[in-house]
Amino acid sequence: MELTNNTYRIQELDVTEICEQFGTPLYVYDAEKIIHQLRSIKSAFRDTDVKVKYAAKALTNISILKLLKKYGSGVDVVSIQEAHLALGAGFAAQDIMYTPNCVGFDEIIEGVELGVNINLDNLSVLEKFGQKYGDTFPCCVRLNPHIMAGGNYKISTGHSNSKFGISVYQLPQIMEIAEKYDLVINGLHIHTGSEITETDVFLKMAEILFGIARDFPSLKFIDFGGGFKVAYKEGDMVTNVYDLGLKLSKAFTEFYQSYGRKLELWVEPGKYIVSEAGYLFVKTNVVKPTPSLTFVGVNSGLNHLIRPMMYDAHHDIVNVSNPTGSPKIYTVVGNICETDTLGSDRKLSEVREGDLLAIKNAGAYGYSMSSNYNSRFRPAEVLILNGEAKLIRRRDTFEDLLRGQIDVI
């Protein structure tokens, strides 16, 4: 989104007009930015056979999935429902990586029936998989490297107390099961967390994976997960994807030369691809000065964007309606009946009731984590594609709130 001649625009389109057309609260995604991010990963890893598996959970809208497919991405899914969505979006089963955690074995069976790549992260599940499929269907193993990394504890998945992955210290048990059932282990996977800024964390993961990989002769790929961080505010640390691509590709090439066969390098970014492409546009319902603060109360809240309350995440906010207004300090809150701060102590151009605000970095884990809490409607979603604003999900209606409910009284 750019400010030109006092007007905020995405791909030349005036965002205020978009919001007038589709109403607020409104999620808007810039397709160009999404494609740009995908391309930049491919270009950073150009020295190797990189396969991008977009982490669908970040933003699951079918049009976004189709867009990414069109530009050559594969997809990472974590539930059988996401697997069905990915197939529905046209992804070939072999381009889908299915990484469930703590699911019933029936969901693994369904994954096999769909023909997607299966990633297992539990010894008992590996044993069941061996009993049922032996060497007839390959699987990947998700490892827990005992590395603490990621933006905060809630989004760190590779440390020793995390529920994810099979500990690298349990490698002997993995080998025992693999030998017992003749398992065809075609991949090794680590996803250590979200918002990892240091290239070194990925290189450390690589060292661990390469050390282990030599014991697995049927590998086709090694998957380094996602977790590339983008800027949420000015001056934020980000993952230097070019540095990462260069160094990881080099280490990877050296590794597979000694492994004796070319392997694919997989990555599963979610935030990196869609975070910055998305905006949540909200309308100011009230401006409420109190003896201590001035609140801006908007027509949204934690039901639409839970990240600030759940992870203390910072999302930049701008006043679209009054870009040149004199700056004042506000606390931006939603209309939900519990504390739902979207941004504390923010310097915004003077906010008047009725003003349109944009909440940035709302593309990843925004709509996909939204809910109908307080029986409010989830927003509509719009994709700006080739200079046109296209509705890709309509706003909820009252019928949606009752859908599925059964009145027994």
- What are the residues binding ligand LLP (CB under 6 A)? 55, 58, 76, 99, 155, 191, 194, 225-228, 268-272, 307, 311, 364-365
How far apart are CB 229 and ligand LLP at their closest, in Å? 8
Residue pair 190/206 in contact (Cβ under 8 Å)? The answer is: no
162/319 with CB nearer ligand LLP: 162
Beta bridge partners of 124: none
Residue 46 CB, nearest approach to ligand LLP (Å): 20
Which of 76/355 has CB closer to ligand LLP? Answer: 76
Contact 83, 90 (CB under 8 A): no
Give me the least distance between CB of 275 and ligand LLP, in Å please.
Answer: 8
Residues 6+ apart with CB under 8 A from 376: 301, 303, 335, 336
Which two tokens mark 94?
A: 């072999």
C-beta of 295 vs 311, nearer to ligand LLP: 311
Angle at 277 between CA 276 and CA 282, to 5 degrees: 90
337 catalytic per annotation: yes
> Cα separations (Å) of 369 from 22, 203, 345?
21, 31, 25
Locus of tokens 């004796």: 260
Closest among 344, 366, 362, 323 to 232, alpha carbons compared: 362
Distance CA 225, CA 143 (A): 11
Residue whose CB is less far from ligand LLP, 34 or 364: 364
By C-beta, is 297 or 366 nearer to ligand LLP?
366
Taking the C-alpha atoms of residue 76 and residue 52, their distance in angstroms, rounded to an integer, is 9
Q: What is the smallest separation between the CB atom of 201 and ligand LLP, expressed in angstroms?
A: 13
Please tell me whether residue 287 adopts helix, strand or coil conformation. strand
DSSP 42: H
CB of 313 to ligand LLP, least distance (A): 6
CB of 225 to ligand LLP, least distance (A): 5
Our CB check for ligand LLP shows the closer of 154 and 394 to be: 154
User: With contact defined as beta carbons under 8 Å apart, do 120 and 126 qualify?
Assistant: yes
Quote the CA–CA distance of 9 and 18 in Å, as a whole number.
10
For residue 280, list its beta bridge partners.
27, 359
Q: 43 vs 375, which CB is nearer to ligand LLP?
A: 43
8 Å CB contact between 302 and 373? yes
Tokens 């001035």, located at residue: 294
The CB-of-408 to ligand LLP minimum distance in angstroms stands at: 35
As measured in angstroms, the least distance from the Cβ of 393 to ligand LLP is: 19
Positive or negative: CA dihedral 168, 263, 88, 388: positive
Closest CA to 245 of 46, 16, 4: 46
Cα–Cα distance, 335 to 326 (Å, whole number): 25
Asked whether the CA dihedral 61, 64, 66, 68 is positive or negative, the reply is negative
Q: Within its chain, how far is the Cα of 329 from the centroid? A: 31
387 in helix, strand or coil? coil
Nearer to ligand LLP, 228 or 330 (CB): 228
Active-site annotation, residues:
337
